Amino acid sequence: MAKAEDTHQDHDHAHHGDSHHHHGHAGVGIAFWLTLGFAAVEAGGGWWAGSLALISDAGHMLIDALALGLAAFAGWLAQRPASYRHSYGLVRAEVVAALINSVLMLALMVGIVWEAIARLNAPQPVQGGAVMVIAAIGLAVNIFVAYQLARGEQTLNVRAALLHVLGDMLGSVAALVAGAVIYFTGWLPIDALLSLFVVALILVSSIRLLREALHILMEGVPKNLDLPEVGRAMAQTAGVTSVHDLHIWTLASGKVALSAHLEIPAMQDWPDILHTTRQMLHTRFDIDHVTLQPELPAAQPEQVGIPFYPRHRH
C-alpha cells in the first residue's frame, strides 16, 4: 500500500521555536561555565576554611557542571540534521542526557544521605562564618544560572539541567542557614539535617523526570494525549471507515509522531481524506509528524491490527 507522510510545517512557528532552542542551549553553556568556575572557588574556600561541608558541596557542583556540560552537548547534537543512519536526526540525544542526569542526581542524593548520616554520628568542625560567605556567593551564582536556564525552551534536557541547578540552589540555602546556626550557636548537626531536608525536596522531581525520560525512550504515548480519543477522532473523519494499527510516540520534547492505517471505501477519496485528517490532528491534538496508510475494506476482521477504532454511525 502507498504511504503518505505529513511534511507541512508552519515556517513562522518553526523559526520561532528554533530561536528558543538556540537560546536554551546557550543558557545551558553559560550555566556550565559558571557552575564549573564556582566549584573551583568553593573547593579552594573549603580547603582554606577547613570545611568538609564546602569541599563536599564543591564536589556536588563539579558533578552538576558535568551534567550541564552533557546537557549542552546533547542540545548541540539534537540540532544535527537527519542522515542515512539517523533518519530522525539526533533529537533523542536530549532525552538520553535527561535520563543520565536524572540517574546522576539520584546517585548524588544517595551520597549526600550517606554523608549526612555519618556527620550526625560524628559531627565535623565547621567555620560557620566562612561557610556563610561562600554559600551566599554560591546562592547568587545558582540564582543567575537558574534564570538563564528558565529563559530558554523547556525541553526535557533543559529541565534536567535546571533540576541540578535548583538542587545546588537549595544546597546553598541549606549551607547558608547551617553556617549561620553553627556561627551563632555552635550546633553542628544542623548541617547534616538540612542536607537531608534538601534531598527530600528534590527527590520527587528527580524521580518524575527519570520516569518521563524512560517513558519517551520506551515509545510511550505522550501524557497529554489519549490514544483512544485520537483513534475515535480519526475514525469520525469524513470518508474513514475505521482506524487500526494506531501508534503515537514522542521523538523529543515537543515533537510528537503518529502512524496509523485508515480503511476507506475508495482509493480516489484518499487525497481529500489525508488532507482532512492531517488538519484535524494538527488543530485538535497538535500532532504534525503524521504517517498514514490507506487500505480498502478487503482485510478480514482477524487481520485488523489492534487498537481498532470503527466509525460510529449517527
> pTM score, two decimals?
0.71
Query: For the chain, which residues score pLDDT lower than 70?
Result: 1-27, 46, 49-57, 59-60, 152-153, 298-306, 312-314
Instruction: Please give the angle made by the CA atoms of 154, 255 and 290, to the nearest 5 degrees.
Output: 165
Residue (of 166, 151, 62, 160) closest to 111 by Cα position: 62
What residues does each domain of the chain span? 4-217, 227-310
Instruction: Please give the angle made by the CA atoms of 60, 169 and 39, to the nearest 5 degrees.
Output: 40
Reduced to 3 states (helix: H, G, I; strand: E, B; else coil), residue 261 is strand
Tens digits of per-residue pLDDT, 171-188?
A: 778 878 888 888 898 888
d(CA 117, CA 25): 37
User: For residues 170 and 202, is the Cβ–Cβ distance under 8 A?
Assistant: yes
User: Phi and psi (nearest 5°) for 6?
Assistant: -75, 120
**DSSP H helical ranges for the chain:** 11-49, 52-78, 93-121, 128-151, 156-185, 190-217, 227-235, 270-285
Q: Which strands make up the sheet holding 4-5, listed edge to edge?
A: 4-5, 289-295, 255-263, 242-252, 308-310
- Say what the pLDDT of residue 7 is: 40
* First-residue to last-residue Cα distance in the chain: 30
Calculated CA dihedral for residues 77, 80, 85, 87, nearest 10 degrees: 110
For 4-217, CATH number out of 3.30.470.10, 1.20.1510.10, 3.40.50.261, 1.10.530.10 equals: 1.20.1510.10
Q: Tell me which CATH code domain 227-310 carries.
A: 3.30.70.1350
- Say what the pLDDT of residue 235 is: 93
Reduced to 3 states (helix: H, G, I; strand: E, B; else coil), residue 42 is helix
User: For residues 248 and 230, is the Cβ–Cβ distance under 8 A?
Assistant: yes
d(CA 295, CA 292): 10
Overall size of the chain counted in residues: 314
User: For residues 307 and 17, is the Cβ–Cβ distance under 8 A?
Assistant: no
